[in-house]
């Protein structure tokens, strides 16, 4: 999770929505603030959301940087592989070791218990060995250039997972790595989390496409990842947030221009009606805690509480990427309610990530 990178210059409560043929809208310009944050310095003329296809692919396998770098069929294949991994986990099938003899370097400039444990445990259970590189050890871009670290780690490992602040660091790692780079989170997006959410939605609703997903809260990296999933899978996505906390306009416009899904950004809380999923996140992420007093006032009407869930309807599930600040963005009652799938969602991080790794490492060819 990461607090909004863009605060709109002209806050508006008007809802915007679109289902537009992709051929009818030109590719939008990136956000001014995003341009500096989300491009590799050597390729600063490229839009910040440029795909993995503009980066030299690894010698074997694929990078996992943004969800729309993949086709609809590839994303669904990852989810099928995730379901396979989960089934093997519950049957304790010790013969299923597609990562046997492989190592994964895990770079953390932004700490997280869930990301480390889910990747390390998941890779180990499928036969691999994961190496944790903490911020003090790796000092990405400080002790030595990021491009040098990428090439050194590529020589030792089969895959690199990175959980970083700057999206530009992720792109530079991928640019110079000869092995797949997996995006464990950046300040811009969080694709592994959304794949876990998609797996949970599949398990609980039987489908992703045709559902209505409503995110209530700060227009952050979770929202950006849902928007990029909406460029490939067809569903209705609504971001409900206070004026001034909208997601990056370029990402919103990119999702609309894809013409795949119905996309809306609004401050109207009534947009939660009929949702299959109500999703929220913390109001102030790491690096934004000094703004929490202001945010408590701005976000108070957007707390996901029992009244909001009732407004959404009995069909609505509740999701949160965790960690949750109970009493702020949501209540203890909603977290512990029968419609909460938060901890199923958290477990599914491990299985979804294993599905991603199976796909990107092409491990199934050795199974």
Quick check: 67 and 231 in contact, CB under 8 A?
Answer: yes
Distances (CA, A) of 319 to 6, 93, 262, 297: 24, 30, 20, 23
Supply the DSSP string of 217-243, one letter for each residue. Answer: S---HHHHHHHHHTTTS--EEEEE--T
Where does residue 105 fall: left (phi above 0), alpha (psi -120 to 50 degrees), or beta otherwise? beta
- From 239, 248, 321, 360, the catalytic residue: 321
Q: Which of 167, 299, 165, 304 is closest to 244 using CA atoms?
A: 299
User: H helices of the chain, where?
Assistant: 32-37, 72-90, 113-125, 135-138, 146-156, 167-176, 191-205, 221-229, 249-258, 292-299, 306-312, 332-335, 342-360
Q: Centre a 10 Å sphere on the Cβ of residue 1 and count the other Cβ atoms it contains.
A: 22
Distance CA 85, CA 79 (A): 10
Distance CA 212, CA 58 (A): 36
Is 248 a known active-site residue? no
Structure tokens that stand for 27 in this block? 């590719």
Quick check: 47 and 54 in contact, CB under 8 A?
Answer: no
**Three-state secondary structure readout of 138-192:** HCECCCECHHHHHHHHHHHCCEEEEECCCHHHHHHHHHHCCCCEEEEECCCCCHH
DSSP-assigned beta bridge partners for residue 108: 163
| β pairing state of 236-240 and 181-185 | unpaired
Quick check: 133 and 107 in contact, CB under 8 A?
Answer: yes
Quick check: 280 and 197 in contact, CB under 8 A?
Answer: no
Please give the positions annotated as active site: 321
């Amino acid at each position: 999770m990461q607090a909004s990178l863009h605060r709109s210059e002209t806050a508006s409560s008007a809802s915007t929505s679109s289902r537009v043929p992709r051929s009818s809208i030109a590719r939008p310009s990136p956000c001014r603030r995003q341009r500096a944050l989300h491009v590799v310095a050597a390729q600063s003329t490229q839009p910040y959301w440029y795909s993995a296809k503009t980066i030299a692919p690894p010698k074997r396998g694929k990078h996992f940087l943004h969800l729309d770098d993949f086709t609809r069929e590839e994303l669904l294949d990852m989810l099928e592989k995730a379901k396979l991994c989960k089934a093997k986990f519950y049957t304790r099938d010790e013969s299923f070791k597609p990562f046997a003899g492989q190592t994964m370097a895990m770079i953390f400039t932004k700490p997280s218990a869930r990301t480390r444990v889910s990747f390390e445990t998941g890779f180990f259970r499928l036969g691999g060995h994961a190496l944790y590189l903490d911020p003090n050890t790796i000092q990405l871009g400080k002790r030595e250039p990021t491009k040098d670290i990428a090439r050194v780690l590529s020589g030792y490992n089969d895959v690199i997972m990175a959980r970083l602040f700057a999206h530009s660091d992720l792109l530079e790692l991928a640019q110079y790595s000869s092995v797949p780079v997996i995006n464990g989170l950046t300040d811009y997006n969080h694709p592994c989390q959304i794949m876990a959410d998609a797996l949970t939605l599949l398990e609980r609703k039987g489908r992703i496409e045709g559902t209505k997903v409503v995110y209530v809260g700060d227009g952050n990296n979770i929202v950006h990842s849902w928007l990029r999933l909406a460029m490939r899978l067809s569903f209705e996505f609504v971001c409900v947030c206070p004026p001034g906390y909208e997601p990056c306009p370029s990402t919103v416009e990119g999702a609309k221009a894809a013409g795949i899904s119905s996309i809306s950004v609004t401050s109207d809380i009534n947009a939660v009606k009929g949702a299959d999923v109500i999703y929220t996140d913390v109001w102030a992420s790491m690096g934004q805690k000094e703004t929490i007093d202001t945010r408590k006032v701005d976000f108070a009407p957007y707390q996901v509480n029992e009244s909001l869930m009732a407004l959404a309807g009995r069909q609505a599930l509740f999701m949160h990427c965790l960690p949750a600040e109970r009493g702020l963005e949501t209540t203890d009652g909603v977290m512990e309610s029968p419609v909460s799938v938060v901890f199923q969602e958290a477990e599914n991080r491990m299985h979804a990530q294993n599905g991603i790794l199976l796909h990107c490492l092409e491990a199934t060819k050795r199974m």
